[in-house]
A and B are shown apart, each in its own frame.
Chain A
Amino acid sequence: MTGIKTLADLKRKQEEVRREIDLRRRAEEPDSLVQVKVAMATCGIASGAKIVMDLFVRELPRRGIEAVVTQTGCMGYCFAEPTVEITLPGKEPIVFGYVDAHKVDEIIEHYIKQGELVDGIIPQNYNTIAEPD
């Protein structure tokens, strides 16, 4: 461990470690942040959902977006895997299919940042017996 000799040192240290535990702060207020759910069932993982999730986890903070990235089970759109559900604060969730590295970039830049819809949206065509959490 190196010493913290000045207040600037302390601030730098805080910045450095804050990112590591930032997820815990964000989890306290998920509704005010962008929520990304990656379908990580067998079908999703086989089609590359893990890479997609890794990309979201890495890219969102790098592009200065406060988000909560979670994984979920199969959404049923196995034909369109990997699928990702994005909920912007105060908006209805939207599901994107056939997500790859390129698509991740497009979703972040266009939908998450500017609210513009991009291709590949899967219309929600079912109701659940309970309100989704």
Chain B
Amino acid sequence: MSHYKMHLLVCAGTGCQSSQSGLIHEMLKDELDRKGLKEDVQVIKTGCFGFCERGPIVKILPDNTFYTEVKPEDIREIVDEHLIKGRRVHRLLYLDPETEEHILDSKKMGFYKKQLRIALRNCGIIDPENIDEAIGRDAYQALGMVLTRHTPEETIEIIKRSGLRGRGGAGFPTGIKWEIARRNSADQKYVVCNADEGDPGAFMDRSILEGDPHSILEAMAICGYCIGATKGLIYIRAEYPLAIKRLKIAIRQAREYGLLGEDILGTGFRFDINLRYGAGAFVCGEETALIHSMEGKRGEPSNKPPFPAARGYLGKPTNVNNVETFANIPVILLKGVEWFSSIGTERSKGTKVFALAGKINNVGLIEVPMGITLREIIYEIGGGIKGGKRFKAVQTGGPSGGCLTEKHLDTPIDYESLTAAGSMMGSGGMIVLDEDDCMVSVAKFYLDFIVEESCGKCAPCRIGNRRLYEILERICDGKGTGEDLEKLYNLANVIKDTSLCGLGQTSPNPVLSTLNNFPEEYREHAVDKKCRSGKCRNLLYYVIDDENCVGCMACVRVCPVNAITGARKQTHFIHQDKCIKCGSCMDKCQFDAIGLKSDYDRHTVSILVN
């Protein structure tokens, strides 16, 4: 039995590791060694705490002290002050932005108050590279229970009744998916874990795999038992090296313990898991494309039916679930259907993990019960908009999703409500935009991503999205017309209706939802040729400030296209129709009289010109 009085948890997620948490961990161990505290204090590397905004995180238990932005040079102070003398190092504590007080107990932080961690239950609590810690927190208990006490049919029934739906995006009921895969008989079936997380700014699945890999292995084995499969495959992108490393360690340890392999827990059930690497293509998150990629073929989707549950990997029945979906399975089985289905809304049960990013104070990973509102997520958990700016929109569901605006702030979030609002749950990326963001540029950004990631198999997605992108580019360049807006709308709908796979069908969503929610911004870009946020460079204008201009003629002389007129000692004037926006005049002006503005005085200009 251990006599550790304190546990030091150092975040070793990808975010914190990139800001030296590895070194911090080493130094803590060294320092404790030197101070003779090795026997009293245990130091563990854990998965993501979610509060990536202020990493690296060091948490001290049992007093729940939460140190943020810890640097290697702070280590000695933490050990001397906190561990030896029992005094917290106040300057490293999280400062509540509202009360301006240091928060001693992490449970009182706004970021954690509204969260409910089910899929992330072990992230930031256990050492993901040590199977014992996972076992101490109930890992493989659900598998043991299912294997010894329930038939596959009973287990599937439990999952069905829990109301768990796929967390990868579409929200298909997991129990039904398993049931279909079970019904199809074959000599071999496969369980596939979809860890191809492709949305820009999303890192939910990665964090679960990095922080609690055993929960996925266990759930895959349970799924194998339910559908009658003995082989599991995790399709993970090669750009997740840390997740791959921890998965490999977890699989090895589980095999050594006999929790994977032949005759698991003496029940005769056998199941093993291997990894398959993807090259990081967005389309491979679509299950048919994913299966093709695993078979060594091109990562292109194919028509459904046949569904993978009938003919999947190597032509055999295959059940594909997302990482987060799997992470929920063991808890549901252990804690029961009633518990799980009491969380969430009528049709969306449980919780959802979101990756908060963009113009928000607390960038990070959160898990909240379904039915929470966007306002709670953004203002309470996320701590509001950076720099006190105004909230404009939030893009959910990544490039396949859409944006939600102020009027959606109080809508309870679930699969249906997000779809009704013109977005989707998606895998859980949440990018917050503020008043400085140009919605046309945002749509263009996502479309650029789609054009890049389209596999090219079907024409609507391959060609249609390219044309959409060109129209947006034209509008942002100030060469758009009112007609373009109609074209955008029609083309987007054609792509939506005629594309082959889910990626294509949802690809115009960012355009459609921004068009619907911000029509006036599109109109300004295309017709008035102005961008209110000043993001579109070609829609900015060099304008002379009458008060500052002394009439020195410097700009008039330097302008290469003679777009500036004016006499000595009189205010000069830039003719926007001639201006090529080279910026020479602004560089030359010594009186700060020339500025780049999102609009110019059109009224005066028309009088002058006429």
Show the binding face of A for B, using Cβ within 8 Å. 1, 3-7, 9-11, 13-14, 17-28, 30, 39-41, 53-54, 57-58, 61, 68-73, 133
Contact = CB atoms under 8 A, between A and B. Distances in A.
Given A4-B257, A7-B145, 8 more contacts: A5-B258, A10-B141, A23-B4, A24-B9, A25-B137, A58-B3, A71-B86, A133-B104
Contact of A14 (B2, B107, B136, B253): B136
20 contacts: A5-B266, A7-B148, A10-B135, A10-B259, A11-B141, A11-B144, A14-B136, A17-B136, A18-B136, A20-B132, A21-B126, A30-B62, A40-B84, A40-B85, A54-B3, A61-B1, A68-B62, A68-B63, A69-B62, A70-B86
- Sorted nearest first, the 7 A-B pairs with minimum C-beta distance are A17-B136, A3-B258, A71-B86, A133-B104, A7-B144, A27-B61, A27-B62
B5 A53 contact: yes
Contacts of A20: 1-2, 4, 132-133, 136
Contact of B5 (A7, A14, A24, A57): A57
A25 B9 CA distance: 13
B257 A3 contact: yes
Nearest to B255: A3
B257 A1 contact: yes
Contacts of B61: 23-24, 27
Interface string B1-35: 11111110100000000000000000000000000
B342 interface: no
* Interface size range on B against A: 35 or more
Interface of B: 1-7, 9, 61-64, 84-87, 104-105, 107, 125-126, 132-133, 135-138, 140-141, 144-145, 147-148, 253, 256-259, 265-266
Contacts of A5: 258, 265-266
A17 B259 contact: no
Contacts of A22: 136
A11 B142 CA distance: 11
Most central of B61, B84, B253 by chain A CB within 10 Å: B61
Contacts of A69: 5, 62
B62 A70 contact: yes
A13 B266 contact: no
Given A3-B258, A10-B265, A23-B61, A73 B1 contact: no
Given A10-B140, A21-B133, A30 B7 contact: no
Given A10-B144, A73-B85, A21 B265 contact: no
B86 A73 contact: yes
B35 to A, nearest CB: 13
Contacts of B136: 14, 17-18, 20-22
A19 B1 CA distance: 7
Contacts of B256: 1, 3
Contacts of B62: 23, 26-27, 30, 68-70
Best-surrounded residue of B9, B105, B258, B259 (most CB of chain A within 10 A): B258
A10 to B, nearest CB: 5
